[in-house]
A and B are shown apart, each in its own frame.
Chain A
Amino acid sequence: MRTVYMDSNATTRVADEVLEDMLPYFCEYYGNPSSMHTFGGQVASKLDEARGRVAALLGALPEEIIFTSCGTESDNSAIMGTLGSYPHKRHIVTTRVEHPAVLSLCKHLAGEGYSVTQLSVDRDGNLDLAELRESLTEDTAIVSIMHANNETGVIFPIEEIGRIVKSRGIVFHTDAVQTAGKIPIDMSGSTVDLLSISGHKFHAPKGVGALYIRKGTKFHSFLIGGHQERGRRGGTESVPMIIGMGKAAELAAEFLEDENVRVRGLRDKLESELLEKAPSAELNGDRERRTPNTTNISFQYVEGEAILLLIDREGICASSGSACTAGSLEPSHVLRAMGLPFTAAHGTVRFSLSRYNTEDEVDYVIEKVPPIIRRLREISPFGREELSKGS
C-alpha cells in the first residue's frame, strides 16, 4: 500500500545524505573523541565540524552549542540549568501551550515549591505580551516560551518577547524544536539566551538534540559527569548521531527556501482544498504566523481518532489532538487553551509536511479525506441539518 507521510512534526525520515555521513562512524571510526590517540582525535574533529554546521543553521558560535540526546533533554537542561544558577529565584514563566518537555517539568517544579505562571493564548493561539510583562517579578528565574507550537504551527514573536524578558534581566529560553530548519533562526544579535532543537524533526535520526547557550549565560550542568561539551553535559558524545545532525543542519539551511516556498505552497493547497471540500472544516491557529509545513484542521461533528483510522487505511499518516488518540479523555491542552468549542476540538487533524512531500501526495490526500469526513458525518448525530443543507 502507498504511504503518504504527513506527520513531520512528530518525526521525519532521515535524509540519505545524513545516513551516508553517519555510517563510517559505527564500525570504522568508532574512537572516543576524548581519547588521546589519533584514532579518537579524528572523530573529535568530525564532531567539531558537526557543531559548526549546527551553529551555522542557528547563526551561533560553535562553542555556544551543546549536543544532547533529544529535544526534551535540551528543554530540561535549559530550565534546570538556569534554576541551578539562580537558586534564590523561585518563579518560572511559561505558556499553556508548551510541549510536555517544558510543561510537565514545570508542573513537577511547582510540586517542588516553585511558582509557575502559565500565560494564556487567544483563539488563534497568540500570546498577550501585556500578560507576559505583568507576570515578570524580581523572583522570576527563567521565561520559557516556545518558538512555534507543535500542534498548530503558530509562531510566537520570540524577539519581542526576548526584549521584554531581557529588559528585566531575566534568562529567556525558547523551544525551537518545531522551527529549526523550517524558518530562519539567527542567534547573532538575538534576545534569546537558550534555544532547544531536536535532530529528528529535520531529517537527522532520533536520539540527538542540541541546546544553544548564549556566551556569558550562567548555566549549571544538568547531566553531571565527565568534561564533555566543556563540562556542560557529561556523557560520551553520541558520535554518529551528532554527525548526522550536523549534516541535517547543513541540508536544512540549503533547503530553507524550498521549505518556505514549495512546501508552504503544498501546505496551502492541501489546506485550502480540504477546507473547501470537507464539510464544516475550520482552520485552527493564526493563518499568517505559522510554520510553513503545518496545518491543523477541525472537522466539526466528527471525532479525530475515527478520522485517523480511516485515513490510515488509505496509507495517510497524520495526527490528531483528539482525546481518544492520546489515551486521555480530554482533547489536547493546546486546543483547550485556545478555547476551541467542543464541536471542533474533538475532530482535529494535523497534517505536517516536509521537503519529501510531493504535489501528487497532496492531491491524493485531497481526494481521500473529504469522502471520509462525509462518511463519518453520516454516522454522527450532530450537525445533520448543516450536512443536508449542502457542502
Chain B
Amino acid sequence: MWDYSDKLKDHFFNPRNVGEMPDADGVGEVGSMACGDSLRIYFKLDENGRIKDAKFLTFGCGSAIASASVLTEMIKGKTLEEVEKVTNQDIVDYLGGMPVEKLHCSVMGREALEAAIADYRGGKPKAEEGKIVCNCFGVTDREIERVARENNLRSVEDVTHYTKAGGGCGSCHAEIERILARVWGEKEAGLVREKAKKLTNIQRMKLIEETMEREIRPALRADGGDIELVDIYGTKVIVALRGTCTHCPSAEFTLKEYVEKKLREQVDEEIVLEEVKI
C-alpha cells in the first residue's frame, strides 16, 4: 500500500469543492483517460479579482483526487497573480508530502490551474508546445524541460515521477537524458569535456563504465539488444554485442555511429571502439 499522509487521506476521503461550475470565469483541463488521470479545474472571481470559488472534477487515483482538492482550497481568496505563483511543490508541501511515484499528480494540478487562467484571459489554453518526446503519455520536450528546471530534476526516473514521461515503453529514455543534459548539462557537460583531456586512466575507465550503464546499454536494450564492456586499454574500448545486436545487420553502424560517438562525446574524443565476439 502507498504511504499516504493523513492530510492526503483526508482530502481523498473527503474531497473539497467537487463538481461542475457552469458559470465559471476560467476552466482548465489536462490529462486524458488514456494517461490514467485527468483533471478539470473551474474558478470564479469576485469584483476585486480574487478567486471567490473553485471547483474540480478528476479521474485518477487517491493522490490525484487529493491534489485537486487541496489546490482548490489553496487558491480561494487569491488573485490570479498570486495563484500563478503556486507551484506543484506547494501542493506537495500542503499535503505533507506524497509518494515519489505520485508526484505527477501535483504537476497535473499546477498545469490545470495554468490552463484555467489562460482560459480566463482569453488566450488559448497555454498548451505546452514543442515536440512530443514520450508517446505513451504525450509529454513534450518543453514540458519536461520546464518541470525539470522547476523541480531540479536530474535523472530520467525523476522526470518520470513528475511528468510520467518515460514510464511506459521506455523508448524515450535517451531523449529525456538529452533534454536533461540540455537543461543542466550545457555548462556541466562543457566542464566534463574540458576535463576529459586531463583524465587519468582510472577516471577515464570509470566514466566509460558509467556512460555505458547509464546511456548506451538502456538504449540498446530498448531494442532487445545489449552490449558488454570487455576491456579498456587507454582510449581503446573493447566491447562485445549481446542479444538481438549479435545478428543485427546494422550492428557495425550502431557501434560506430552511436556507441563510439557517445563515448567520444561524453568521455574522451580519442576513444576508439573495438568489437570482439566472445
Contact = CB atoms under 8 A, between A and B. Distances in A.
Given A111-B243, A329-B164, A379-B18, A313 B13 contact: yes
A382 B36 contact: no
Given A111-B243, A329-B168, A381 B36 contact: no
B136 interface: yes
Interface string A294-318: 0000000111111001100100000
A23 B65 CA distance: 47
A302 B59 contact: yes
B58 interface: yes
Contacts of A305: 61-62
Interface in B14-54: 15, 18-20, 29, 32-34, 36-40
Given A112-B243, A328-B167, A303 B224 contact: no
Contacts of B246: 113
A306 B12 contact: yes
B168 A303 contact: no
Interface in A309-353: 309-310, 313, 322-325, 327-331, 342-343, 346
Interface string A157-192: 000000000000000000000000000000000000
Interface string B140-157: 000000000000000000
A303 B36 contact: yes
Interface string A352-391: 0000000000000000000000000011111010000000
B62 A381 contact: no
Contact of A306 (B33, B65, B137, B168): B65
A14 interface: no
| Interface size class of chain A, counting residues whose CB lies under 8 Å from the partner chain | 20 to 34
- Main secondary structure, interface of B, reads mixed
Given A306-B12, A346-B33, A381 B167 contact: no
B101 A327 contact: yes
B167 A306 contact: no
A93 B219 CA distance: 26
Given A111-B242, A111-B243, A301 B224 contact: no
B164 A303 contact: no
Nearest to A341: B33
A382 B38 contact: yes
Given A323-B36, A381-B40, A382-B38, A306 B62 contact: yes
A381 B58 contact: yes
B243 A330 contact: no
Contacts of B164: 329
A330 B60 CA distance: 13
B57 interface: yes
B178 interface: no
A309 B101 contact: no
A331 B36 contact: yes
Contact of B57 (A313, A330, A380): A380
Contacts of B65: 306, 379
Contacts of A302: 59
Contacts of A304: 61
Interface residues of B, number: 37
Contacts of A382: 33, 38, 59
A110 interface: yes
A33 B137 CA distance: 56
Nearest to B40: A381
Contacts of A331: 36
B168 A330 contact: yes
Nearest to A378: B18
Interface string B213-245: 000000001001010000000000000001100
A304 B37 CA distance: 11
A328 B58 CA distance: 19
Contacts of A381: 29, 38-40, 57-59
Contacts of A310: 13
B64 interface: yes
Nearest to A116: B224
B36 A346 contact: yes
A322 B29 CA distance: 22
Interface in B92-124: 101-102
A309 B62 contact: yes
A111 B224 contact: yes
B157 to A, nearest CB: 12
A347 to B, nearest CB: 9
Contacts of A327: 101
Nearest to B68: A379
B137 A329 contact: yes
Q: Which of B12, B13, B59 has the most CB of A within 10 A?
A: B59
A343 B224 CA distance: 31
B12 A343 contact: no
A112 B224 CA distance: 10
Contacts of A346: 33, 36, 59
Contacts of A113: 242-243, 246
14 contacts: A110-B224, A110-B243, A111-B221, A303-B60, A306-B12, A306-B61, A309-B62, A329-B136, A342-B36, A343-B33, A346-B33, A378-B19, A379-B15, A380-B58
In order of increasing CB-CB distance, the 8 nearest A-B pairs are A329-B167, A324-B61, A305-B61, A381-B57, A342-B34, A381-B40, A380-B59, A342-B33
Given A306-B60, A329-B164, A381-B39, 9 more contacts: A111-B224, A303-B37, A306-B12, A323-B36, A342-B36, A343-B33, A346-B33, A379-B65, A381-B58
Interface of B: 12-13, 15, 18-20, 29, 32-34, 36-40, 57-62, 64-65, 101-102, 136-137, 160, 164, 167-168, 221, 224, 226, 242-243, 246
Interface of A: 110-113, 301-306, 309-310, 313, 322-325, 327-331, 342-343, 346, 378-382, 384
